[in-house]
Chain A
Amino acid sequence: MRALTWHGTHDVRVETVDDPEIINSRDAIIEITSTAICGSDLHLYDGAIPGVQPGDVLGHEFMGRVVETGKDSTLEKGQRVVVPFTISCGGCFHCKIQQYSACQNSNPAEKQDMSATLYGHPMAGLFGYSHLTGGYSGGQAEYVRVPFSDFGPIVVPDHLDDDQVLFLSDILPTGWMAAENAEIQPDDTVAVWGCGPVGLFAIQSAILMGASKVIAIDHYPNRLALAKQMGAEIIDFRKTSVREALMEMSGGIGVDAVIDAVGMEAHGFAIDNMIDIVKQKVGIGADRASVLKQALLAVRPGGRVSIPGVYGGMTDKFPTGALMEKGLQIRTGQTHVQRYTKDLLKKIEEGTVDTTFMISHRLPLEDAARGYKCFREEQDSWTKVVLKPGMKD
């Protein structure tokens, strides 16, 4: 089959690799019809995540048709499914309390040591996201092997287009969980850093949850325009002093909740951010956390901090004083996708949630490398790239 493979920093290629096979009895093989490039794929592309190996197939936002099933899969051939990027068994301690992205049984035993050393506990398996999370082949390919197919994938009705439901795999539930983690109350003013797909969905979710005002922060005009279209007020951090503006726009109280939808590769020119860029380049896993630091200072005392943005290492000069003295609550984590898919599918069917507005480009799989390059270098206009393996050039 054809698949997008990683070969090094800024080096991804579409190559022919072995087709996936059913290995375990709960597996299914999916023929991919749509697969997106995620903002977090850019962390892999930029070489900021450890444990990626040459030849790894990337991609963790995908959907398609079931073409083969193991004997214990509950899927049927021909069904259309969206597959969560988190691989979860459904039966372990964490799955039973709906912490699906902490599944104890999806990361192969021999792959767990690296993340256990880095984080104190092993991570769950994720599709196409380094060997820290299992080294599973991802979905930027013609076919993918889906473990625990009786538990994760959600069957979608034929009257909904791929573009309407594809993002149930990651960014829609991720934006929703980001807003949920911010524990939004009706009178809240909420600030969201980053108007990429997750930030935009977080804005949409925060508004649906009843926030009285959502303030979006970015510097790309097109992305800020999309945020405004969603109903947010906007701040361009290149032109405006963000902290001062947030204080003023929240009536001098400070924002009630902050959402960092940027993560480890924040733009910005603070001195410590520049030092962190150097550290990232030499490969010692330093997270550039300028957004998170700014968010911790901007949030009001007793406020809530939600972090959907990806971090993978450690960071310097973390404002522990602001955290403690202001009595902040922090909630974060890889998304527990399976917790949200059913309800969000219903919201899509009812028309409460639209996901298609952010897709800027649809490309054949063969053009995936160009998709990565442009998604990274032309972030203003390339807001979301969807690859279609069946599409002709």
Chain B
Amino acid sequence: MRNDRDLGLAGTVAGVGLALGGLAFGAFLTQRRKGGGDDAPFYTRKSPDSDDAVLGRTVTIRKPRAELYEFWHDFGNLPRFMENVETIRSEGDHRVWTIKAPGGRTVDVRTEVSEDTQNRRIAWRSVEGSDIETSGSVEFEDAPGQRGTRVSLVMSYDPPAGEVGRAIAKLFMREPEVQARHDLKRFKMLMETGEVATSARTKDQTRKAKQQENG
């Protein structure tokens, strides 16, 4: 759901891509599909068995499961490591993600939480009327020994129908994965070190680097 009806096609394309990037973060598959006959996660299969675009990533974070779950459970925290998400606010049962778009614009994406199992899993999906159907989940699992917690983020989305939809999907098939990977690493940094690493020399350069990351 965009809040700016004046966005042109370019804006729409970019906006949807950015929205996906943002959702990649929070996003999580609501239904696990069957694997490919081995023990690897389904999203690592060479030939996807679904028309949906699917991405998944796991990081190990040296913090207790409950602490990570609590941080993620407060959606307002997520923009601290999701570079392209400005804010996430609650509206009733919905979360509205305000995502940065090129040219200083923003787009809003509306989601609902579809599953919330304390200290284990949070899942969400877009609600009726969203430009794109998307669902995702973040799962927290004890890592062996003293390694902390394995955090897995999985997301899927249906590429929009039609010629334009296919073009959008093609353009952004990769981008959400890159964004999700970077955001997940920043989540790890924030949890383990209390800050997000930057190699900038000055505060001004930090801002420039962020603008670059957001396209």
Contacts and interface: CB of A to CB of B under 8 A. Distances in A.
Most A C-beta atoms less than 10 A away, residue of B60, B181, B197, B205: B197
A137 B205 CA distance: 12
Contact of B199 (A19, A25, A137): A137
A50 interface: no
Contacts of B212: 110
A109 B183 CA distance: 8
Contact of B185 (A17, A20, A112): A112
Interface stretch (B114-122, B160-168, B188-196): B188-196
A190 B197 CA distance: 41
Nearest to B147: A93
Given A91-B192, A92-B62, A112-B185, A145 B201 contact: yes
A134 interface: yes
A283 B41 CA distance: 37
B34 interface: no
B49 interface: no
Given A96-B62, A113-B178, A108 B199 contact: yes
Contact of A109 (B146, B148, B195, B197): B197
Given A93-B60, A108-B198, A108-B199, A23 B206 contact: yes
B189 A105 contact: yes
B213 interface: yes
Contacts of A134: 197, 199
Nearest to B205: A18
Nearest to B204: A18
B195 A26 contact: yes
Interface in B63-115: none
B188 A125 contact: no
Contact of B201 (A21, A72, A107): A21
Given A93-B62, A109-B189, A110-B213, A25 B203 contact: no
Interface in A8-43: 17-21, 23-26
Contacts of A17: 201
A373 B57 CA distance: 46
B202 interface: yes
B171 interface: no
Contact of A147 (B185, B197, B203): B197
Instruction: State the main secondary structure of chain A at its contact with B.
Output: loop
A2 interface: no
Nearest to A108: B197
A18 B189 contact: no
Given A104-B188, A105-B188, A110-B209, A136 B193 contact: no
B193 A110 contact: no
Contacts of B213: 110
A128 to B, nearest CB: 10
A106 interface: yes
A91 B197 contact: no
A145 B195 CA distance: 15
Contact of B197 (A20, A72, A105): A105
A127 to B, nearest CB: 9
B58 to A, nearest CB: 13
B193 A148 contact: yes
Interface in A76-90: 89-90
Contacts of B205: 18
Contacts of A23: 198, 200, 202-203, 206
A72 B181 CA distance: 27
Contact of B195 (A20, A24, A111, A113): A24
Interface of B: 60, 62, 146-148, 178, 181-183, 185-186, 188-189, 192-206, 209, 212-213
* 3 tightest Cβ-Cβ pairs between the two chains A and B: A109-B185, A109-B182, A24-B195
Given A24-B197, A92-B62, A105-B189, 13 more contacts: A21-B202, A21-B203, A24-B195, A91-B192, A93-B148, A96-B62, A96-B146, A105-B197, A107-B197, A109-B182, A110-B182, A110-B213, A137-B201
5 contacts: A24-B195, A92-B192, A105-B189, A108-B197, A109-B196
